[in-house]
Structure 1
Amino acid sequence: MIIKKIFNNNAIVVKDSDKHEYVVMGCGIAFKKSPGEKVDESLIEKTFILKQKDASEKFKLLLEDIPSEYVSLCYDIIEYAKNILDVELNDYIYVTFTDHINNAIKLFDSGISTSNPLIWEIKKFYPKEFKVGLKALEFIEDELGKQLPEDEAANIALHLINAQGNVSNNKIDITRQTKMVRDILNIVKYTYNIVLDEKSINYERFVTHLRFFFQRLGQKEREDSEDDFLLRQVKAKYKKAYNCMLRIQKYLEISLSSEEQLYLTVHIQRVTQRN
């Protein structure tokens, strides 16, 4: 590997024999080194292989302004998240998350307190990501001696949720999605004038259905006569649940397919039953 660019003593851009470029980090890896010299590979501690060119270029720009210890810390948190969540994360997480943590620490050092109005919903709907966020706060405190507020764990969770899978124009922003799930649950509560059992399996299934429902928005729906037939039966049997579904459809300001109407009605019927 040959050094192509030096950010500081601990972070450089290298080029391998196949002319692929990577960002690598290691204590003193660029000390008394110049571009064009060979890299002491024994000093490499972290390697950033970003396949998306745009993400890679933006990440390199970040390295010019953000302390390398922050970048290294964020790398550790992201790798921890990948292992715990067992998911693939979009390359942009290295850019967006690192930039966010840098700004969060700046605000903290300035004595500015920030809050996340959706923290309760994030705890409920994305418990795994929120737990990773809490663990990330421990990482930050251990490495930097800064105790960020719990709301920051919710912010971190949102970054992890957004980074799962490929970015698509059809996907609703996760912050907006979380608010919409909350609003839909409230529509059900007020329609039935009940408190939903958040520990029930039907509640968990309903929330899971809504999460994937939002991911399907904007995709071409298939028309199925069987769904129309079943929907007519469900409409007749579960009138209140069907009317509640219509309220949700009005709130969403979209026309749902027969399939979506069917499953949404069934989930509403299940989540509102106490037996």
Structure 2
Amino acid sequence: MVIQKIFNNNSILALDSNKHEVVVMGRGIGFKKNVGDNIDLEKVEKTFILKEKAASEKFKMLLDDMPKEIIYVCYDIIEYAKNILDVEISEYIYVTLTDHISNTIKLYKEGFNINNPIIWEIKKFYPKEFKIGLKALDFIEDEVGVKLPEDEAANIALHLVNAQVNNSFKEVGDITKQTKMINDILNIVRYTYNIKLDEDSLSYDRFITHLRFFFKRLNKKNHNKEEKSDNNEDFLLKQVKEKYADAYKCMLKIEDYLDKELDDEEKLYLTVHIQRITMK
């Protein structure tokens, strides 16, 4: 690999044998080196190959003044998350998560501790991502020597949720909004039936999963023409309305909360899920 740019003693931009740009990091890898020199492969510790041009350019900007240990720990967190989640992750996570963790550590050292007001909802609705966030705190403590609070695990979880390629929500703020809406809907069910929901039940897990995909479908329908419900859905909805009258009324409250007219398909499935989750 041939050096194209030296960011600092520990990170450089290079061209690999296929003429692709790669960011290479290692202790002293850029020390006393010049553009055009070959890389000492024995010093290579981390290699970043970002195919998305925008992500690559912003990541290179971070390297100008980002401590090596921050880059390293974020790389390890992301690779760990990829293995656990087994989903496609946007390359932008290398930029967004690295920048976030760097700023968080800086604020923490200055005495600022920013709480996450929806940490409990994140634990419930994104358990895999939250567990990765907790593991990330261990990585950070080992690499950087800073023990961040549990709230930061929730923040990291939101970044991971946001970075999943098939996620229709494109900003962490939208994920936070979605999480709040799910919790609001659960509260509508709780207060309507005056019951405590069994959060360990399979019905509860199914309802949460349905709501997460429900919001994705709503988001998609907002950008496409509304499809009319077929006669079969209309027939089934009438049956469900009669059989599960209380669940149907609860669904109407959720529809009012969303301030959006749902189609028969969504009304049908929401009603059925409400019926299941409230059965004793």
Fold conserved between structures, TM > 0.5: yes
- Post-superposition Cα deviations, 1:182-201, rounded to whole Å, max 9, x if no partner, equal 00000101111111111111
Residue 84 of structure 2 corresponds to 84
Q: Which amino acid letter does the alignment assign opposite residue 46 of structure 1?
A: K
1:246 correspondence with 2:247: no
Deviation of 1:70 after TM superposition, in Å, equals 0.4
Q: Which amino acid letter does the alignment assign opposite residue 54 of structure 1?
A: A
Deviation of 1:167 after TM superposition, in Å, equals 6.1
Residue 263 of structure 2 corresponds to 257
SS at match of 1:194: coil
Q: Which moved more, 1:220-229 or 1:79-88?
A: 220-229
Deviation of 1:19 after TM superposition, in Å, equals 2.7
Deviation of 1:65 after TM superposition, in Å, equals 2.3
Deviation of 1:124 after TM superposition, in Å, equals 1.0
Instruction: Work out the percentage of aligned pairs sharing the same amino acid.
Output: 67
Residue 234 of structure 1 corresponds to 240
| Structure 1 residues 115 and 254, CA gap change in structure 2 (3 angstroms) | same
8 Å CA contact 2:168–2:219 kept in 1: the answer is no
Residue 10 of structure 1 corresponds to 10
1:42 correspondence with 2:42: yes
1:174 correspondence with 2:175: yes
Write out aligned runs for 1:61-210 (5 A).
Answer: 61-166=61-166, 168=168, 173-210=174-211
From 255, 266, 279, give the equivalent of 1:273. 279
Deviation of 1:23 after TM superposition, in Å, equals 1.0
Q: Distance in 2 between matches of 1:129 and 1:266?
A: 28
Q: Distance in 1 between matches of 2:105 and 2:254?
A: 40
8 Å CA contact 1:10–1:30 kept in 2: the answer is yes
8 Å CA contact 2:161–2:167 kept in 1: the answer is no
8 Å CA contact 2:26–2:46 kept in 1: the answer is yes
Q: Which amino acid letter does the alignment assign opposite residue 23 of structure 2?
A: V
Residue 215 of structure 1 corresponds to 216
- Post-superposition Cα deviations, 1:194-234, rounded to whole Å, max 9, x if no partner, equal 11111111111101111111111232454322111111110
Deviation of 1:84 after TM superposition, in Å, equals 1.5
Aligned residues: 274
Q: Which amino acid letter does the alignment assign opposite residue 7 of structure 2?
A: F
Q: Distance in 1 between matches of 2:42 and 2:124?
A: 44
Q: Which moved more, 1:15-24 or 1:124-133?
A: 15-24
Q: Which moved more, 1:58-67 or 1:160-169?
A: 160-169
Unaligned 5+ segments in structure 1 are: none
| Structure 1 residues 166 and 250, CA gap change in structure 2 (3 angstroms) | same
Unaligned 5+ segments in structure 2 are: none
Q: Which moved more, 1:170-179 or 1:261-270?
A: 170-179
| Structure 1 residues 41 and 139, CA gap change in structure 2 (3 angstroms) | same
Write out aligned runs for 1:21-60 (5 A).
Answer: 21-60=21-60
SS at match of 1:218: helix
Note the aligned Cα RMSD (angstroms): 1.6
Deviation of 1:136 after TM superposition, in Å, equals 0.5
Deviation of 1:66 after TM superposition, in Å, equals 1.3
SS at match of 1:219: helix
TM-score (norm 1): 0.95
TM-score (norm 2): 0.94
SS at match of 2:5: strand
8 Å CA contact 1:170–1:219 kept in 2: the answer is no
Deviation of 1:30 after TM superposition, in Å, equals 0.9
Deviation of 1:39 after TM superposition, in Å, equals 1.4
SS at match of 2:219: coil
- Post-superposition Cα deviations, 1:221-272, rounded to whole Å, max 9, x if no partner, equal 5432211111111011111111111111111121212111100000001101
